[in-house]
Amino acid sequence: MSELRCVSLLEKCRSLNCLLQIHGYAIKTGCDTDPFVLSKFLLFSAITFSDTMDYACLLFRSIPQPDGFMFNTLIRGFSESNMPYQSISTYAQMQKQGVKPDSFTFAFLLKSLINCGSLNTSRQVHCHAMKHGLDPHIFVRTSLITAYAAGGSIVCARQVFDEMRVPNVVSYNAMLSACLRCSEVDEARRIFDQMPWLNVTSWNIVLSGYMDANELELASRLFHDIPQKDLVSWNTMIIGCVQGGKLKLAFELFEEMRLEGFSPNEVSITGVLSACSQMGALEFGKMIHGYIDKAGFSHIVTVNNALVDLYGKCGNINMASHVFDKIMNKGVISWTVMIEVLAMHGHGVEAVELFYKMVESGIEPDGVTFVAILYACSHAGLTQKGIELFNMMKDCYHIEASMEHYGCMVDLYGRAGFLDCAYEFIAHMPIKPNAVIWRTLLGACSIHGDVILAEHVKNKLSEIDPENSSDYILLSNIYAIAGKWRDVAVVRKSMAERKMRKTPGWSMIEVDKVVFSFVAGDKRNPVAEVAYEKLSEIINRLRSEGYVADIGPVLHDIETEDKEDSVSHHSEKLAIAFGMARLHPESVIRIVKNLRVCRDCHTMLKFVSRVYGREIVVRDRSRFHVFKEGSCCCRDYW
C-alpha cells in the first residue's frame, strides 16, 4: 500500500521540496527499492520539473540495475535540459551495462542533437540505430530528418525522407521544417505541394519558414490561402511582421484576428505589445493593457514583462515600475527588463540599486542582465561602478564576457572621455574586436573631438566593414567640427565614388492612436504641410528667445541660411512640430527616432520645453531624452 501512496503523492507534487519529502517517506516505508516507484521518481525529477536534473542524476546513480525505461527517462531529461550532450554519455553507459535501446532511446538521443546541431554525432547515432535494427522505425527516421537539418545537412535529411516507405504527416512536416531550417524555401514549397494530405500544421510550418526567411510577400499570399486558419496561423503572421519591422501590418492583423472571432493568447499579446514598444505607440499599448486585465492575462509573467518593456520604451517609466512591482514571481527576465528600462532613461544609480536588490532576493543575474547594467553605468557616467560590475560578472558569476559586454565597456570608457583606456581595453580583448566595437570607439571620438584617434579607428573599420556609410558620416562630422574642410571633402568624395548614401533619419509620433512617420526633408508626406508650417512658427519664436542653430557639422560651402535650413528640417523636429499642432497643449509629446539625436536638435528641444512649457520624450537609437523646463534628463551626457 505504501507504494501506491507514494505514487499518489507524486501525482500531486509541484516542487523539488515536495519531491524530497515524498522521497523521504519512500525511504522510511521501504518502498524506495521498488522499480516502479523508482521509475516514477526518476520521471518526475528528470521530466516534470525544469530544475531537478541534478537530483535525477543522484537518484539514477543509486539504482543498482536501471532498466531501459529508466535510461530513456534520463536521456530524455538531458535532451530537454541545458546539458543535451549528457544524453550521449548516458547512452554510452546504457551500452556498457548491456541494456538494449529501443526506438524511444534514439528519438530522445536525436532530440538532444537537435539542440546541439552536431552533424557527425547524428551520423553516429544513425549508425547505432541501424545496428540495432531500429533504423526503419518511422519515429526514429522522423527524428533523424530534424537532427540532420539541425546539423546543416539537408542532403542527409532528404535521403532519410526519400527512403521512408510511407511517410506520415509528421514525417512530411519534419521534412518541411528541415528545408526551411536550411533556407531551402523553394524545395519546402515543392514538398508542401506534393503532400497527399494537408492539415493546418503543414500550412503553419511553411508560413513560419517564409517568415524566418524574411519572405513576407510569400508568407502573406500563403496566409490568405490557408483554408482554415487557427490561432497559430495568426500568431505566426503577427510575430513575423513584428520581427520583420512591418509594425503597422502587425497591428492590422491583430485587429483582423479579433474581428474573425479569435481570442488572442499570450503569444498574440506579447507580439503586438512588442510592435507597440518599437513604434512608441503608447495609447494603443494602453488599450491592449486594458484587454489584458479584462481577459485574465495579468497574472502571466511573460505578458507583464512585455508590458514593462512597452511602458519603458514609450517613455512612461512610472507605469513600467508599477507593472514591475505587481509581478508576483519575478524571474531574471523581469528584473533585467526593468533594469533595461532604467538604463534607457539614464537612471543609472537606480538601475544599480535594482541590480543589487535582485541579487539579494536570490535571483542570479545572467549575461543579458550584465549587458543591461553595464549599459546603465555607461549612460549615466558611472565609470568605476561599471568596471566593478564587469569584474564581478567574471569573478563572482563565472560568466564569460561576450562581444556585447566588451562593447559596453568600450562605451563606458569612451563616453566618459577615457579614450586611451578604451583603446587599451580593445587591444587587450581576448577575442577579436568586431566592427561594432571599433564603431563604438569612433562614436566616442566624435563626442570628444579626437581627430587623430578617429582616423586610426576608421582605418580599422575599413579593414573589417569598408562599406558602412555611418563610419564615413561620423568621420566627416569629426572633421567638420574641427574645421578640417579639406578632409571633409575627401571623405564625401570617397562616399560618392562608392555610391554610399547616408541612412535617412525618421521619427514617429502617435496622435489619436494613429502613428505618423516623418523623414528628414521629405515634403511628400500628406501631413508634412502641417508639420512644416508649425515648425517654421516654432523656430521663429525660439530665435527671439535666444536659440541659435548649431551648424558646425554642416558643409562649409553653402550659405549660413541654407545651413540653418538643413538642420531645421530633421525628422524629430518635424514630428514634434506636428505633435504640437495636433495634440492637446497639456499632452506629453512622445517620439521615436532611428538615429542618435544631433546636438542642434537636442538644444532646440530644450528651448521648446522651456518656451512652450511642453514635456517632450524622445527615444533615439540608444536612450531616452526627457525634455522639461529647459533641461534634459540626460544632463547633456548622451
Is the model's pLDDT at 618 over the cut of 90?
A: yes
pLDDT band of 556, cuts 50, 70, 90: very low
Is the model's pLDDT at 563 over the cut of 60?
A: no
Q: In the prediction, which pLDDT does 439 show?
A: 94
Q: In the prediction, which pLDDT does 180 show?
A: 85
Average pLDDT, integer, range 33-60:
81
Helix (H, G, I), strand (E, B) or coil at 370: helix
Q: Are strands 589-593 and 616-619 parallel, antiparallel or unpaired?
A: parallel
pLDDT band of 11, cuts 50, 70, 90: confident
Average pLDDT value for the chain: 88
Task: Supply φ then ψ for residue 591, to 5 degrees.
Answer: -135, 155
Is the model's pLDDT at 61 over the cut of 70?
A: yes
Between 147 and 520, name the one with better pLDDT.
147
Average pLDDT, integer, range 529-550:
92
Task: Supply φ then ψ for residue 420, to 5 degrees.
Answer: -65, -40
The identity of residue 168, as a single letter, is N
pLDDT band of 567, cuts 50, 70, 90: low
Average pLDDT, integer, range 12-24:
76
Q: In the prediction, which pLDDT does 559 show?
A: 40
| Tens-digit pLDDT profile for residues 481-529 | 888 889 988 998 988 888 887 778 899 999 988 889 998 877 777 788 8
Is the model's pLDDT at 14 over the cut of 80?
A: no
Least confident piece of the model among 60-64, 211-215, 608-612: 211-215
Q: In the prediction, which pLDDT does 558 show?
A: 40
Q: In the prediction, which pLDDT does 553 show?
A: 53
Is the model's pLDDT at 562 over the cut of 60?
A: no
Is the model's pLDDT at 465 over the cut of 60?
A: yes
Is the model's pLDDT at 84 over the cut of 90?
A: no
Query: Residues for the chain: how many in total?
Result: 638
**Distant-in-sequence contacts of 605-612, Cβ < 8 A, 24+ apart:** 605/572, 605/576, 605/632, 606/630, 606/631, 606/632, 607/542, 607/545, 607/546, 607/547, 608/538, 608/542, 608/576, 608/580, 610/545, 611/541, 611/542, 611/545, 612/538, 612/580
* Most confident residue range from 110-114, 129-133, 172-176, 407-411: 407-411
Least confident piece of the model among 7-16, 27-36, 228-237, 593-602: 7-16
Q: In the prediction, which pLDDT does 117 show?
A: 65
Is the model's pLDDT at 560 over the cut of 50?
A: no
Pick the CATH number of 229-329 from 3.30.1300, 3.30.70, 3.30.420, 1.25.40: 1.25.40
Is the model's pLDDT at 10 over the cut of 80?
A: no
Q: In the prediction, which pLDDT does 533 show?
A: 92
pLDDT band of 50, cuts 50, 70, 90: low
- Structural element, H or E, at residue 547: none
pLDDT band of 565, cuts 50, 70, 90: low
The identity of residue 279, as a single letter, is M
68-104 as b/e, with b when 16 or more CB fall inside 10 Å? eebbbbbbbbbbbbebbebbbebbeebeeeebebbbb
Average pLDDT, integer, range 393-401:
94
Whole-angstrom Cα distance, residue 447 to residue 474? 10
Among residues 152, 116, 148, 115, the alpha carbon closest in space to that of 129 is found at 148
Is the model's pLDDT at 575 over the cut of 70?
A: yes
Least confident piece of the model among 114-118, 339-343, 533-537: 114-118
| Tens-digit pLDDT profile for residues 398-448 | 999 999 999 999 999 999 999 999 999 999 999 999 999 999 999 999 889
pLDDT band of 388, cuts 50, 70, 90: very high
- Structural element, H or E, at residue 484: none
Do residues 457 and 442 touch, judged by C-beta distance below 8 A? Answer: yes
Domain ranges across the chain? 229-329, 507-632
- Residue 500: strand pairing partners: none
Q: Is the pTM of this model over 0.85?
A: no
